[in-house]
Each structure stands twice: as structure tokens, then as C-alpha cells.
């Protein structure tokens, strides 16, 4: 994990937790909860098409800080692409929208006065947050760039680009450069606020977008894809995010974005933040989570869906010892019920970790599987999560 993000996370370290699960139980493979046996039918059909060279499969992950640095979605992407073909990096942002944001297949760099549009705590205005739930915008001259990393340039070394933005009254212009050469100039002017999606001609290793400063420009990201069959995995995580925040995302813009991305699997990886801090009553939590899942099912009815349960967030007792947080297990069970009611599969992250009390063993493992903040995993811990999740996704394939 980057030093930038470590410094950010160190500010909210919460201590240790007890429990003595067996070392071999840490990060163990588990099966999905899918009573219907059909929650992943669309994903499996798309993977078969990718394998046979007749189509592609797209997996779109929404979540919190576990997802925001692509630390488990990246290894999952690479493993699936080795099996079924490389469809490209997926949706990426050419500007760092917040400290804990990165991508395993591109290097992000930017300059100029960009601001982030994202739901913040209790401040939840209804707005066009785009397909990822966050956007960056500028009213002045500014630029953002992505360069494909070496691991993303094997085989077919280039990708094609689609620019996703907010078209709006009085919108400004974007200049797009492909490998240092001007490819197009895009207008984001429209009579009403709506999704703008424009394909940029030419395949590339470097894509740069420049706000010209002649009006507000809001960027939702760049969809980087290779031509032909393969797998695409989008990592759309937001540090500190909670599932209910999706309810204030502009539905028309999100629908248009999901129509463009066309995911075959939509994943909701939330719950850790809901287990502490703002303690929402559990009946209301279940009601809001159900509304979020119902909304996504309505916006993308053909897609398979998966809920990934919360990881452990331990609590420190008054005497200085540490114990499991009861809400983690409660939220896990709520997510399991909601998933079953909505025809989704469920991945029990707490069981994957080894059960309540496992976090202290993750931190003390050699090599460590979790950071000393006792919330987030190390690279090895996230690698184990990716392997377990891939195995679960392919059950019955």
C-alpha cells in the first residue's frame, strides 16, 4: 500500500482485537450463499463467451476503502484475465479524487485546481455522481493523465478510450491527448444535465484530458478497454463509504452510465463503516440496503449481483482489551437476508477471515495479513481475498 494512503489510514487506527482462530483458517476459501443457484447465471454466461472468444465479461465493484485502491480487485482482474482474456483496465479516473485511490493497471497524475464531487458523511445532496459515485471537476485550466503500467501492456499494448463526463448548461470543453497527440476536443454543453459518453479515436498507452477553463467540466472517468473478447473489472471504491449513500446518486445519470458500461456482475462491498461510527438502527439499515439493491436491480436487471459482507472492525474495551464488534455479525446477517431476498449471492468476509476475533491474528501473522490499523489488509491479505473471491465466483461455472 502506498505511503500516501498509509499516512491517511494511520490517522484513524483503532487498535487490536482478540481471538485465537487457527492460522490455517485465516483467509480460507468459502462458498457463496446462493440458495437459488442462479444468482451468477449472467456472469457465468459472459465468462463462457469470453473464454470461447465470442464476447466479454464485465464485473463492476462498488465499495469502501477496501476497494478504493484496487488492492483485491486488481489481483482478481489479473487472474480472470489470464483465464478468460484481457479486456482492459476498465473505468479509471485520470485525477486522484481522494487520498486512498489508486489502480493497479494505470499510473494517475494530474495538475491544476480539480475538486472532488462525492457524498461526505451527513452531507448527502442529490447530485450527478456518475457511475462510480464520485467525480472530479474544474472551472479553470487543469489536466489529468493515465499511463498504462508495464503489467497492463502485455500482449496487446494499447487500449481504446471512452470519456464519461457530465454534459450541462454552460459546460466547458475538454481536450483529449492520445500518446501526446491531440485526438479530439469535446464539448460538455447540453440543455439539461446528462451523461456524456464519447469514444476517442486511436489506441494508446497514455491518455490525457485537459480542462480548457472556459466553463465547468465534471469528469466521471475514462473507460479503457481492448477490442475483442476478455474480462473487465471496474474498482469503484470510496474511503469511508456506506451503501445508503447510493440513494442520492442521480438515477438517470447512473442508469445511462450502467447502460454504457454494461456490467454482467454488480458487486456491493460495504458494511465495515456501517458497523461503527454513525450507528444506524438495524431495521433502518436493512431498509436502506434493500432500497440500494432494488435500485441497482432496476437499473441493470440483466446483471448478476453479489453482496460482499463487512470485514472485522474490532472494539476496544474500557479495560484496554479488545473484542469483536457485535454489529459486524448483525450486518453480516442483514446482508445475507437482503441478498437472498433480491436474488443476489452473498460472500461472508467475516467467515473468510476466520470468524469474530480473527483480526489480531491477521495482524500478527507472518507475513502480516492486515495493517496495524486493524481494519485494512496488507497486499498479501488482499491477495488472499482475491483468490477466495475468484474461487467463489467460479463455483458452478
- Specify the pLDDT at position 62: 98
- Specify the pLDDT at position 26: 85
CA distance 221 to 108: 12
Domain ranges of the chain: 1-87+228-397, 91-227
CA distance 206 to 90: 14
- Specify the pLDDT at position 123: 74
Quick one: the chain helix, strand, coil %, rounded to 5?
30, 30, 40
CA distance 234 to 70: 9
- Specify the pLDDT at position 24: 59
- How many Cα atoms sit within 13 Å of 155 on the Cβ side? 12
Per-residue pLDDT of the chain (397 residues; tens, 9 = 90+): 454 354 344 333 333 333 344 555 788 899 999 999 999 999 999 999 999 999 999 999 999 999 999 999 999 999 999 999 999 999 999 999 998 899 999 999 999 999 999 997 777 889 999 999 999 999 999 999 999 998 765 555 578 899 999 999 999 999 999 999 999 999 999 999 999 999 998 778 999 999 999 999 999 999 999 988 999 999 999 999 999 999 999 999 999 999 999 999 999 999 999 998 767 899 999 999 999 999 999 999 999 999 999 999 888 778 867 788 889 999 999 999 999 999 999 999 999 999 998 998 898 899 999 998 889 999 999 999 999 999 999 999 9
b/e 44-63 (16+ beta carbons within 10 angstroms → b) = bebbebbbeeebbbbbbbbb
CA distance 276 to 228: 44
Q: Which three cell numbers mark 222?
A: 475514462
pLDDT digits (tens, 9 = 90+) for 346-389: 999 999 999 998 998 898 899 999 998 889 999 999 999 999 99
CATH match for 1-87+228-397 among 3.40.50.261, 3.90.1150.10, 3.40.50.720, 3.40.50.1110: 3.40.50.1110
Which phi and psi angles does 90 have, rounded to 5°?
Answer: 95, -155
pLDDT digits (tens, 9 = 90+) for 38-83: 999 999 999 999 999 999 999 999 999 999 999 999 999 999 999 9
Query: Is-cis flag, bond preceding 219, omega within 30?
Result: no
- Specify the pLDDT at position 372: 87
- Specify the pLDDT at position 16: 30
Which residue's C-alpha cell is 452531507?
123
Beta strands at 90-92 and 56-63: parallel, antiparallel or unpaired: unpaired
Angle 184-186-189 (CA atoms, 0-180°, nearest 5)? 165
Beta strands at 141-148 and 206-212: parallel, antiparallel or unpaired: antiparallel
Does domain 91-227 match CATH 3.40.50.150?
A: no
- Give me the DSSP letters along 253-284: HHHHHHHHH--SEEEEE--TGGGSSS---HHH
Amino acid at each position: 500500500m502506498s505511503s500516501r494512503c498509509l499516512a491517511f489510514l494511520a490517522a484513524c487506527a483503532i487498535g487490536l482485537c482478540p481471538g485465537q482462530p487457527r492460522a490455517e483458517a485465516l483467509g480460507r476459501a468459502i462458498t457463496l450463499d446462493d440458495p437459488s443457484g442462479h444468482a451468477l447465471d449472467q456472469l457465468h454466461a459472459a465468462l463462457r463467451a469470453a473464454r470461447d472468444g465470442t464476447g466479454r465479461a464485465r464485473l463492476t465493484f462498488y465499495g469502501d476503502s477496501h476497494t478504493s485502491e484496487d488492492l483485491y480487485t486488481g489481483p482478481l482482474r489479473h487472474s480472470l484475465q489470464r483465464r478468460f482474456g484481457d479486456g482492459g483496465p476498465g473505468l479509471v479516473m485520470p485525477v486522484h479524487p481522494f487520498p486512498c485511490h489508486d489502480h493497479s493497471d494505470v499510473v494517475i497524475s494530474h495538475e491544476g485546481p480539480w475538486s472532488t464531487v462525492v457524498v461526505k458523511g451527513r452531507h448527502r445532496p442529490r447530485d450527478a455522481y456518475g457511475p462510480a459515485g464520485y467525480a472530479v471537476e474544474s472551472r479553470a485550466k487543469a489536466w489529468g493523465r493515465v499511463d498504462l503500467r508495464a503489467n497492463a501492456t502485455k500482449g496487446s499494448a494499447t487500449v481504446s478510450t471512452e470519456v464519461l463526463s457530465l454534459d450541462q448548461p454552460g459546460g466547458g470543453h475538454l481536450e483529449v491527448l492520445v500518446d501526446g497527440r491531440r485526438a479530439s476536443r469535446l464539448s460538455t454543453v447540453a440543455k439539461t444535465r446528462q451523461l456524456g459518453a464519447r469514444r476517442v479515436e486511436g489506441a494508446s498507452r497514455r491518455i490525457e484530458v485537459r480542462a480548457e477553463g472556459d466553463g465547468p467540466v465534471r469528469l466521471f472517468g475514462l473507460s479503457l478497454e481492448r477490442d475483442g473478447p476478455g474480462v473487465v473489472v471496474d474498482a469503484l471504491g470510496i474511503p469511508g463509504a456506506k451503501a445508503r449513500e447510493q440513494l442520492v446518486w442521480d438515477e438517470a445519470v447512473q442508469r445511462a452510465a450502467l447502460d454504457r458500461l454494461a456490467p454482467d456482475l454488480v458487486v456491493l462491498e460495504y458494511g465495515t463503516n456501517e458497523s461503527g461510527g454513525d450507528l444506524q438502527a438495524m431495521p433502518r439499515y436493512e431498509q436502506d440496503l434493500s432500497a440500494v439493491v432494488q435500485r441497482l436491480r432496476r437499473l441493470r436487471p440483466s446483471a448478476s449481483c453479489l453482496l460482499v459482507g463487512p470485514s472485522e472492525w474490532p472494539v476496544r474495551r474500557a479495560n484496554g482489551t479488545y473484542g469483536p464488534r457485535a454489529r459486524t455479525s448483525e450486518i453480516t446477517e442483514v446482508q445475507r437476508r437482503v441478498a437472498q431476498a433480491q436474488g443476489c449471492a452473498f460472500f461472508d468476509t467475516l467467515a473468510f477471515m476466520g470468524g469474530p476475533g480473527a483480526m489480531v491474528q491477521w495482524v500478527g501473522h507472518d507475513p502480516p495479513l492486515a495493517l496495524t490499523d486493524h481494519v485494512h489488509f496488507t497486499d498479501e491479505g488482499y491477495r488472499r481475498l482475491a483468490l477466495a473471491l475468484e474461487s467463489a465466483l467460479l463455483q458452478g461455472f
